[in-house]
Amino acid sequence: MERKFKARCIDLETAGVNIIVLNKRDAEDMDLNAMDRVGVSVNDNEVMCVVDLTDTFVPPGTVGFFEEAYTQVNACDDDIVSLRPKDKPQSIQFIKQKLNGATHTDAEIHEIIDDLMKEELTDVELTAWISSIYIRGLSKEETVSLTKSIVDSGDTLNLHANAVFDKHCIGGVAGNRTTMLVVPIIAAAGLTIPKTSSRAITSPAGTADSMEVLAPVSLGKDDIESIVNRVKACIVWGGAVNLAAADDKLIRIRHPLSLDPRGMLLASILAKKKAVGANHVIIDIPVGEGAKIKTRKEAEELARHFNDLGDSLGMNIHSLLTNGDHPIGAAVGPAIEAREVMRILKGEKVSPELREKSLQLAGILLELGGVVGEGKGRDAAMSLVDSGKVLEKMKQIIGAQGGDPELRIEDIIIGPHSETVKSEVSGRIEHIDNQGISSVVRNAGAPVDKAAGMYLHVEEGDKVDVGDPLFTVYARSERKVDQAVEVYNERKPVRMSRIILEALH
C-alpha cells in the first residue's frame, strides 16, 4: 500500500540512520509502528527509512525528514514523496544462519553488504551479524568475498600506473609516524603510492590528523587521482572519499564494543588497499605489551592470514612484525609529529628509531618495486633522504594537496603552554608504555587540539640523573597541561629500573 506525502525537512542529524517522522494517524492507517521500515521515493530511487512517530510535530499528510534521510532521498520542503511499508530484506535470513553457525556463500555476503549500503539493515541486525562473526569466525573464502564486496560498495581509484604501492600499520604505537616518511621516499624513487589514512579514534593522533597540519587532507576521488597521476603520491584522509564505503558503516557498529572479528579486520584493511588499486602492500604489525597485538604468536598468525588473503585477492602482501613495545618517535601529537617528520626530512638527527624504521619499510617497498636488488632497499632509501629528493617530493605532495610547500618548521604551532617533567631519581629508563603516553597526550587535548602533544627527551636504556628532563608536555592552557601531568603521575608511563623493589617495615 503506497501513499503520497508532502515532505518537510528537519535540521536534525542522528548517526547513520535515515529517520523520517510520521503523524500517528498516518502511521496507524498504514499499520506502521515506531522503528518500522518504509521505502521512500521521490522519483524512482527508493531509500529505506526508519519511522519515528508524533502527535503534532508534523500534521497528517506530511512526512518529516531528518538530515541523513532528506540528503539520501533528495527531497526538499513541499516535494511529494511516496511511502510504502517494506518487508524485511532476505539478508536477515543469512544473518540468522550465521548466528546458527552456517558458512556464508559469496552471493549471501554480497547481498548483506548491498543491503547495508541501501540502509536496509538496522543496527540490531548488523550487530547480530558482526557478533556472530566475532564468535563463529569467517572462513578464508568468506573473508575473500567480504573484501570484494566491501571494495564493490564504493569507488575505486583510476590511476595511470600499473604497479601501485601501499602500506598499512595495525597501530597502537605512539609517535609511529612512518607513513609521512615512507610515502615521499617511495614517490621520490618514481613509484606510485596513493595513501589514504585514518584520523585518531582512541589514539592521540592519526596520520590524517598529523598531515592536516601541513596540507588539506579531505580530498575527493577526482582530486586524489589527479594529484597521484601528477606527483605519484598523496597522504589524504580516507574518510572524505567514498572508497570501501561499507567499511565505515561496519566500523560504526564495531567501535562501541571494539568488536574486531579477525576476518572482518582483514577484509576491512585489504578492501581499502584494493580500492586504491594497490598490488604491492606492506603491513606493519607492531608486537608488544602496549601495542594492539600483544604476542609474537598472535602476530605471526595475523601475518599469515594477511599473506594468504593477499594471494587469493591477487595482491602481493608483505607482513612485517615490528617492535611495538614502546613509542617509536620522540614526538607524540598531531602537530609535533608533523614537525618531527619535517625535521627528519631536513636531515636533523631526531627520533632515530622512527627514521630507521621508515627507511627499512621504504626499503622493502623499493625492493618489491624492482628499484633496487634484494638487501639494497634500506640504503637506497637513505640515499634518497640524504640527497634532499625526499624533502622535495614531500613539498610537492603538500603543494599538490593545497598546503604551503614552503611552510617553515618554526611556524608549526605547538603548545603554546608547556611543562617539562624531570627525573626525581637517578637510574636507567627501563620501559616507556605506549598506552600511558597516549593517555597523557589525549588529556593534553589531542587529537582535537592539534597543537597539544608531548616530546620525549629519553629513550629506553638511557641513563638519567636527578633533575634530567624526561619529557615536555604541550597544551592550549595551563589547566590542560596540569591535567596531562596529573595523568602522567597516576600512570607513570616512563618507568625507571629500580634496585630496591620494595621496602618492608
Residues that bind its own copies (CB under 8 A): 10-15, 19, 21, 31, 33-35, 52-57, 66, 88, 92, 95-96, 99, 101, 122-125, 127-128, 130-132, 134-136, 253, 256-259, 448
Packing angle of the helix pair 179-188, 334-345 (nearest 10 deg):
40
Which C-beta is closer to its own copies: that of 57 or that of 469? Answer: 57
First to last CA, the chain: 82
Which C-beta is closer to its own copies: that of 360 or that of 483? Answer: 483
Nearest distance in Å: CB 380, its own copies: 44
Distances (CA, A) of 481 to 441, 459, 485: 9, 22, 6
Which C-beta is closer to its own copies: that of 175 or that of 447? Answer: 447
Nearest distance in Å: CB 17, its own copies: 10
C-alpha cell at 238: 580516507
Nearest distance in Å: CB 52, its own copies: 5
- Amino acid found at 132: S
Report how far residue 220's alpha carbon sits from residue 402's, in angstroms, rounded to the nearest whole number.
13
Report how far residue 175's alpha carbon sits from residue 505's, in angstroms, rounded to the nearest whole number.
42
Report how far residue 408's alpha carbon sits from residue 414's, in angstroms, rounded to the nearest whole number.
13
Nearest distance in Å: CB 287, its own copies: 21
Partnered with residue 428 across adjacent β-strands are 463
* Per annotation, catalytic residue among 79, 152, 260, 482: 260
Which C-beta is closer to its own copies: that of 146 or that of 253? Answer: 253
Helix H, strand E, coil C: the string for 448-466 is CCCCCEEEECCCCCCEECC
Residues 6+ apart with CB under 8 A from 148: 110, 271, 274, 313
Which C-beta is closer to its own copies: that of 43 or that of 258? Answer: 258
Distances (CA, A) of 106 to 101, 139, 148, 149, 273: 16, 11, 9, 9, 20
- Verify whether residue 260 is a known catalytic residue: yes
Which C-beta is closer to its own copies: that of 159 or that of 251? Answer: 251
Nearest distance in Å: CB 435, its own copies: 17
Nearest distance in Å: CB 487, its own copies: 15
Q: Which strand ranges, in their side-by-side order, compose the sheet holding 280-287? A: 165-169, 280-287, 316-323
Q: Residues with catalytic annotation?
A: 260
